[in-house]
Amino acid sequence: MVCDLLAVSIQQFQDDCLQLCEQHYPTVHNRGMRENHLGKALCRRIVATFQQAGLNVDLQQTGDDNDLPQPIFSISSDDFTIWIIAHHLLSANLARREALVETIDTVMKKYQPNKSNHLLLVADHWFDRSKASKEIPAWWLGQVPENLDDYRLDGIRLLDTTRTLPDSISERYSFVEGQLQLHHPLKRSGDKKVVHKYIVLTAYYPI
C-alpha cells in the first residue's frame, strides 16, 4: 500500500512542481528549487495522499534547516516510516552526487526495526553544458534513457556514466529493487510541450 500511495503522490507532485514554478518565476526557472522547498512540497503531497486514503500520518523534519546539507523528512504511522531526502543538484559534479548518497547514513542511524521503513529520494536539476550535467539521467537511472531524441530536440545530448546511483546504493547499503524515475513537470506556455531542460528525479527503496 505504501508503495502504491507514494506512486500516486509522485505523479500528482509533478502538477505541484508546475504550480510552484509558475508562482516563483523566474527563480525556479533560473536555479531550480532549494532542497527544503522541494522536500516540503513533496511531503505535503504525500501527507495529503495518505490522508485521502484514510491513513493518519505524522510529518517531521530531522534537525534544523541548516544542520544537514540535504534535508531529511519523515512521514510516520504506527506501522511504517517513510524517509524523504531532498537534494538540489545545482551542480552535477561528483561531490554533489556523493553527498546525496552519504546522507542515507543519517537515515540508517534512525532506522526503526519495529516498523516497515521506506526511503524516497527527490532531486531536481537544470541541465547545463557540462559533461557532468549530461550524465545525470544515466547516473540516476543506471542507464541512459531510451528517449534520447526528446532531449536532443531541446538541445541536450545525454551521456552515459560508469558510476551510477543504483550501484552506489547497492554497494553501500545493499538496497535493491529500487524504483528510479525521471520527471519533466514543466511545459512551455505556448504549445504545452514538455521542457526537458528541467528535471525532477525520484528514487524509492523499501529498506
pLDDT value for 64: 53
* Cell 541512459, residue located: 144
Confidence of residue 21 (pLDDT cuts 50, 70, 90): low
**CB neighbour class for 137 (10 Å; exposed up to 12, middle 13-18, buried from 19):** buried
pLDDT digits (tens, 9 = 90+) for 127-179: 999 999 999 999 999 999 999 999 999 999 999 999 999 999 999 999 988 99
User: Is residue 199 a contact partner of residue 124, using CB atoms and an 8 Å limit?
Assistant: yes
pLDDT value for 142: 94
Judge whether residue 30 has pLDDT over 70: no
Query: Domains of the chain: which residue ranges?
Result: 2-206
Question: Higher pLDDT residue, 161 or 68?
Answer: 161
pLDDT digits (tens, 9 = 90+) for 96-112: 888 888 889 999 999 89
pLDDT value for 26: 45
User: Is residue 74 a contact partner of residue 59, using CB atoms and an 8 Å limit?
Assistant: yes
User: Is residue 5 a contact partner of residue 49, using CB atoms and an 8 Å limit?
Assistant: yes
Residues forming beta bridges with residue 126, ordered by sequence position: 198
**CA atoms of 9 and 143, how far apart (whole Å):** 25
pLDDT value for 84: 95
